[in-house]
Chains A and B, each alone.
Chain A
Amino acid sequence: MEEIIPDKRIDIRGLKCPYTFVRSKLAIEQMNTGEVLEVLLNYPEASVSIPKSMQDHGQRVLSVDKINDTDWIILIRKERD
């Protein structure tokens, strides 16, 4: 499978909900449609809530991966403003 290179990365480890989503949303707002945002986080609930909220807002969640004991990486493609 082709590797996706994110256009922007944010590290929100240490943040809890709802600021995990607020930060992710502010980041994606400043990107262009079609670009991919990588979110690195360690708040377990956000690994579920960020993908759900992003989809509710019309963005496409490409992947949610647990990369070690504590952290997740979520890739989101911006579909709309």
Chain B
Amino acid sequence: MEFNGGQFTDDQIIRYSRHIILPEVGGKGQAMIASAKVFLIGAGGLGCPISYYLTAAGVGRIAIVDDDVVDLSNLQRQILHSTKTVGMPKVESAKAVLNALNPDVEIIAIKDRLTPQNILGFIKDYDIVIDGSDNFPTRYLVNDACVLANKPLSSGAVLRFEGQVTTIIPGEGHCYRCLFEEMPPEGLVPSCQEGGVLGVLPGIIGTLQAMEVLKLILGKGDVLKNTLLIYDALRTNFRKVRVPKNLDCPVCGENPTITALCSSYEANYCSA
């Protein structure tokens, strides 16, 4: 997005007027949003609402990595995709909708699988990382990479009727391993495929993540640092749980045992 020293185009003034009016945002805040670069993992249930709202907000560059293709069973919750894009790579299906929503935003579609070998190269040019993945190996990989690369991370998860959101600021607050040091054994926690998920739930959790990201960009308000927000949809209950930084954390503690990414995250232990 071009600002010519703080000047917006007439269309941009109209498009972002409800942001500009806010005392916490204004033209300066909108310019900060426009110069932000975020890296999103997953174009699924969480990634769709996250990227939809961040694109609407005018975030300068959004990279989305996902190696999957759109399946009919995704459409109950993955709102960027449609009946017409079944079979298409998710990142391409998402990119088309996001480009149509806001041509100011540069969308980088990466059809690839995130690995310990490629993640640090991917995230190094981005300000904030957002995890919208649906599995534990990726969640631990992303956490470790963000701690090692010192990148703020918004992490979200959903299952059945319950969702979780947290914001990790390496060096300041907790990380995912402070909360859950090791991955649960395979099969212990059901996946969305096995457990099901009510379609609106990732919309709620994803939009909470998008809000956290915008606050990080603007430097306004309090983010979910040292805090896990748990949403129980059946009881309509939001609960905040305090998560102190663990000084013995294997990746962000005082004497970390994980000082480089593990060679594989597929096993439930670190096989560095």
Contact = CB atoms under 8 A, between A and B. Distances in A.
Interface of A: 18-19, 21-23, 25-26, 29-30, 53, 56-57
A30 B6 contact: yes
Interface in B1-40: 6, 8, 13-14, 17-18, 20-21, 23, 26-28
Chain A at the B interface: mostly helix, strand, loop or mixed?
helix
Query: How many interface residues does chain B have, given as a range?
Result: 10 to 19
B20 A26 contact: yes
Interface of B: 6, 8, 13-14, 17-18, 20-21, 23, 26-28
Nearest to A29: B27
Given A19-B14, A23-B13, A57 B27 contact: no
A57 B20 CA distance: 12
Contacts of B23: 56-57
Nearest to A58: B23
A26 B18 CA distance: 13
Nearest to B19: A22
A53 B20 CA distance: 13
Given A18-B18, A22-B13, A26-B27, 5 more contacts: A22-B17, A25-B26, A26-B8, A29-B28, A30-B27
A19 to B, nearest CB: 6
Contacts of A56: 23
5 contacts: A19-B13, A26-B8, A26-B13, A29-B26, A30-B6
B6 A22 contact: no
**Nearest 10 interchain pairs by C-beta:** A26-B27, A22-B17, A29-B27, A22-B20, A57-B23, A30-B6, A29-B26, A18-B17, A22-B13, A29-B28
A36 to B, nearest CB: 19
A8 B26 CA distance: 19
A20 to B, nearest CB: 11
A78 to B, nearest CB: 13
Contacts of A30: 6, 27
Contacts of A26: 6, 8, 13, 20, 26-27
B20 A25 contact: yes
Contacts of B13: 19, 22-23, 26
A25 B21 contact: yes
A26 to B, nearest CB: 5
Contacts of B8: 26
Contacts of A22: 13, 17, 20-21
A61 to B, nearest CB: 16
A21 B13 CA distance: 11
A21 B20 CA distance: 10
Nearest to B6: A30
B55 to A, nearest CB: 21
A77 to B, nearest CB: 17
Contacts of B26: 25-26, 29
